[in-house]
A and B are shown apart, each in its own frame.
Chain A
Amino acid sequence: MESWNRRAKLAVAVLVGFAAIVASAQTRKEMKFNVGPGASLTISNDFGPVTVHTMAGSQVLAVATLHSDQMEVDQTRSGSRVELFTHALQQRPTGDAARVEFDVTVPPDCNVTVHSSPGPIVIEKVRGDVTADGENANIDVRDVGNGHVHLRTLKGNVTIANVSNGHVEVTSVSGPVKMSDVSGPSVEVNTTNGKISYSGMFSNNGDYVLTTHSGDIEVLLPANASIDVSARSVNGKVENDFPFQPKQHNPFPVTSGRAFAGTSNSGSSGVQLRSFSGTIRVKKQ
């Protein structure tokens, strides 16, 4: 029994020591910038994730965790414009040694731009403009509003939730785009074959345009949504189980199974659903 206790303690000590060794190879770099209203922050990090959240105040606080001393973070500051750029000191290291993670806190009205090829990119509670792109990055934007939201990816998953009063523009080639409670004067999503999902009210008296080449479009509508909708798939099909009122005048021939148009309640917002060969489904929530 005593030998087992001794061995257990020895194993724990070895594990703790190993963790300490690993942690010591990482470098944590803290950067603080005092900024004015409407500040802008740009982060270019093609070596790992970037997370941005907000805190009241007038400071940008960026914490970069570098997994090796072969990587470096450069910073540029001009007034209230801050730029952070990650690069390899010499030849790009492989594996975990190249990894750099960012965790950033900004004032709520800060305009945020993030480039990260691998991602993931997470941005929340920002009230300024949000721009994020990454070829393979999963992009997660939530609780933002009152600004422009521009998201671009080739095959990453895009998730947008709880966006109010926003000008939203999302472009993805094959990555799916999932939106819930996204509203604003203008919401435009364009994919080649990524699936587009939307659940929410389409509120704000806005214009919503969801377009895809061969991906599917799925819309989940509550009964009290007030929209003027037109849906058309050139070579695919259209399915609808929402009780729209038919429109007298349509921008295109309403062919059963390929297109439909209608109005719900007072038709405050305009919604266009377009696909070349994908399936468009509108369902009642």
Chain B
Amino acid sequence: MTCAEFQRVLPYIIDAGGDAGQEQHLRECAVCADLVADLRYIADQAKLLVPMEDPSPRVWEGLQKSLEREGLVKSAPARRSLLGLPLRDLGWVAAGAAVVVLLAGIFFTRNTTSADQPKTTVAMESPATGPANAEDQQILDTVAQLSPDVRDSYRQGLRDVNTYIQDAERSVKEDPNDQGARQLLMQAYQQKAMLYQMATRSGE
């Protein structure tokens, strides 16, 4: 074994020892033997190092004053506090409070506004005559440019058909096994589908 080969594997065998050939080289080669001895000494000393403790505050104050006397640092401004909190911390508290107040204002304002303003976009009447949904409103918007009598036909037609669907759905719910009720429901949906198809064609 050459010195180059031995030193290549040295990091792996320095603690646990090598095989027979590596130990024989260590016995026969003074250079590698001195190298191994130095490395083991450094490792042992490192294990003996003790962590340093922070110096007392008086040490830092003494250093501060010395640096100020030398003119190397300026004296730090006196700390001010309020309510036990430093002012720089209170700045963050104030900012956070402002954000909370702002969000609360937005929340209450929005709720008040939506409750007071009347709904202006609903074009159909109360649920008792068949409620409108977003799709129905789209249909009414589609036929908005047609003549007034045609628009009225769609509006009234949607009301009547929605009532039909409501009644039929209620009937099916009461007896899901009632084939006649299911038939009526399907017919009701076909009526609705017809309205949509005709409106789409007319709106083109």
- Which residues of A are at the interface with B, using a C-beta cutoff of 8 A? 46, 115, 117, 133, 135-136, 152, 154-155, 171, 173-174, 190-193, 211, 213-214, 232, 234, 251-252, 274, 276-277
A136-B150 contact given A171-B191, A171-B194, A274-B183, CB 8 Å threshold: yes
Nearest residue (CB) in B for A275 is B184
Return 26 A-B CB contacts under 8 Å, by A number. A117-B146, A135-B150, A135-B153, A152-B198, A171-B190, A171-B191, A173-B161, A173-B191, A174-B156, A174-B157, A174-B160, A190-B187, A190-B190, A191-B191, A211-B184, A211-B187, A213-B167, A213-B168, A214-B164, A234-B171, A234-B180, A251-B180, A252-B178, A252-B180, A274-B180, A276-B167
User: Within the assembled complex, what's the spacing in Å between the Cα atoms of A274 and B185?
Assistant: 12
Q: Is the interface of B mostly helix, strand, loop or mixed?
A: helix
A155-B157 contact given A190-B191, A234-B171, CB 8 Å threshold: yes
Give the size of the chain B interface in residues (CB under 8 angstroms).
30
Query: In the assembled complex, which residues on chain A have CB atoms less than 8 Å from the CB atom of B198?
Result: 133, 135, 152, 154
At the interface, yes or no: B149 with Cβ under 8 Å from chain A?
yes
Supplied contacts A135-B153, A171-B191, A276-B168, 7 more A-B pairs, CB within 8 Å:
A133-B198, A154-B157, A192-B188, A192-B191, A213-B163, A276-B164, A276-B184
At the interface, yes or no: B138 with Cβ under 8 Å from chain A?
no
Q: Which of B157-196 contact A (CB under 8 A)?
A: 157, 160-161, 163-164, 167-168, 171, 178-181, 183-184, 187-188, 190-191, 194-195
Are the CB atoms of B171 and A154 closer together than 8 Å? no
Query: In the assembled complex, which residues on chain A have CB atoms less than 8 Å from the CB atom of B180?
Result: 232, 234, 251-252, 274
A277-B154 contact given A154-B198, A171-B190, A192-B161, CB 8 Å threshold: no
Query: In the assembled complex, which residues on chain B have CB atoms less than 8 Å from the CB atom of A173?
Result: 156-157, 160-161, 191, 194-195
User: Within the assembled complex, what's the spacing in Å between the Cα atoms of A211 and B202?
Assistant: 26
Query: In the assembled complex, which residues on chain B have CB atoms less than 8 Å from the CB atom of A277?
Result: 167
Nearest residue (CB) in A for B156 is A174
At the interface, yes or no: B201 with Cβ under 8 Å from chain A?
yes
